Every structure is written in C-alpha cells, then in structure tokens.
Amino acid sequence: MNNRSVIITGANTGLGLECARAILARDESWHIVLAVRDVSRGAAAVAELGAPDRCTVLACDLASLASVHAFTTAVAAAGLPALHAVVCNAGLQVVSGLQMTADGVEITFGVNHLGHFALIEGLRAQLVAPARIVMVASGTHDPKKFTGMPHPRYTTAEALAHPQPDEPVDGRRRYTTSKLCNVLYTYELDRRLDHGGAGITVTAFDPGLMPASSLSRDYTPLQQVVWRTVSPLLRALPNVNSLTTSGTRLAALAIDPRFEGVTGEYFEGAKPIRSSAQSYDTALARDLWETSARLTYGNITR
C-alpha cells in the first residue's frame, strides 16, 4: 500500500520518532524515510515502530554537507515511493563551548539551519506535487514569549556561521537564533516557491516545550539534575507538551488532508499564529538565503 514517502530528519528518537509513529498509525499509504546520523540507531527505531516494510533508514549527518548530498543521492537511487513530504525535525543545542561542523560552520547554525537548507535544496527536484515541507522551529525564537531562554541575536548569517574567536559563547542563544533562522527560511522558501504555486507548501511548527526531549543532552551533570527536577513542574505552563502530543501534531502538518494547501504559516501546536516580528524581516531572510546558498554550494564536493 506504500505509494508516498515522507522523509523525517532525526527520526530515531524524540519528536521525530513520535512523528513517524503517528504517520504510520494514521495512514497506511505512507512510507517513512528515517534520515539519521547513526543508521544502527535508525534500525533500532524501525524495530520499535514495528513496521519494517514501511520504513527505510538512510544516513544523513546534517553537520556535513557532503553527507547531506550523499543522502539526497541515495534517496533518488533507492527506488522509494514518490516523495511527497519532508519534515525537518533534527536539531541540537550545544552549551559546552564552540563547536564546528565538518565544513567549518558553527554547529548549531550548521545543523539546525544550514544542513536542512542543503537537504531541501537537494530534494526539491525529487518532490512530487502536491508536496509539503515542515520546519520544526520553536517559540524560543520570539522575544515576546517567556521561555526562560535568551533572546535570539541575528546580525548576519555569515556572523552566525563563522563567529569571531573572541566572541562570547552562549550556546542557548545560538539555539534560539537558529530557531529564528528556521522561521525566516520557511517564509523565504515559501516566497521562492510562489506561495504554493509550485505545488509545494511550507510551514513552520513550534512543538512547545517537551520535557522528555533530548535537547538537554549537552548540559553539565548539574544542569541535567536541575532540568530533571524542574521539568515536571513546567507541565502546568502553556504550550508544554508530551512527545506524543507534539509528534501527532507534527505528523498532521505533514500528511493530514485538512492542511492541504496551507503554506507560509507558523503553527503553535495545532493552530496558526503570528511568529516574532523579526521573523517577517525580508532583508534578513534574503541575507540568510544568499549566505546559505554560498556556504552550501561553495563547500560541498559534488
């Protein structure tokens, strides 16, 4: 019954895994492509999902443009059902100091934004209309929301990609800024795809705070203890969700008929809302796009 494919990055754990589980349960016509850094963990996820005939695991390290290119080539050669959806879910938060990707880009920007930019650019020719792209963003990109996280600081995309050696390292701010990049990119991609006129829709999704997610994995042992102590108390706050709840909502944006034709929107959970004021800045979006294109096509070996 598999006649449509959806690619989910970071599908071996957390939100991506729950999104895959929800799609498998909702509609038997979908085939899941788990785009994961570690294929053995991807295989373990497929075993947990219990649908090996409806899942394919392919290696994709978003911290390496060469790996992303190899992945898009592998998708084209794999004989999969037609590609109708891509969920850009994988992300990280690094608080242990400045780290760089294989291409010499700051790793939070590199994985959360640039790797996904390169992925979508590499897959666009393979997408079969009607198709959907869903970017997993975060409410932390919006300074008007109380999230406990530092406000994003976007100067230029070049500065985000290649910070100065003497620049203070604030991993949490790099994370919130990368999430702003996700929203800027969503709107710019939607414009370049003629707001759905090309048969491809683009939306951004805020899954809310998910205490069970693995974003805190780079925290120090003390920070981990504090997080485990505080996180259960946060469930009474607005937009705090289980992985299952957010995964189900993310799956709906990717495949549910009720979102057919919806594009250029930012969703908080199941409803579209306004994103931050800065996320609508077309000059910033253009800078992000042009820099990302230069970094992608200038660094990758074809």
Residue 160 has pLDDT above 50, yes or no: yes
List 223's β-bridge partners, or say none. none
Q: Which CATH number is 4-299 given?
A: 3.40.50.720
d(CA 159, CA 101): 15
- For the ranges 25-39, 125-139, 222-236, the lowest mean pLDDT is seen at 222-236
User: What average pLDDT score do residues 262-281 get?
Assistant: 97
In a 3-state reduction of DSSP, which class is residue 57? strand
d(CA 107, CA 126): 27
d(CA 27, CA 236): 32
Residue 104 burial by Cβ neighbours in a 10 Å radius (0-12, 13-18, 19+)? exposed
- Helix ranges (DSSP H) in the chain: 14-26, 39-49, 65-77, 107-109, 115-123, 157-161, 171-192, 221-230, 243-255, 282-299
Residue with tokens 């295989």: 43
Q: Which residue has the higher pLDDT, 34 or 223?
A: 34
Q: What is the pLDDT of residues 68-113, one digit of tens each?
A: 999 999 999 999 999 999 999 999 999 989 999 999 999 999 999 9
pTM, full prediction? 0.91
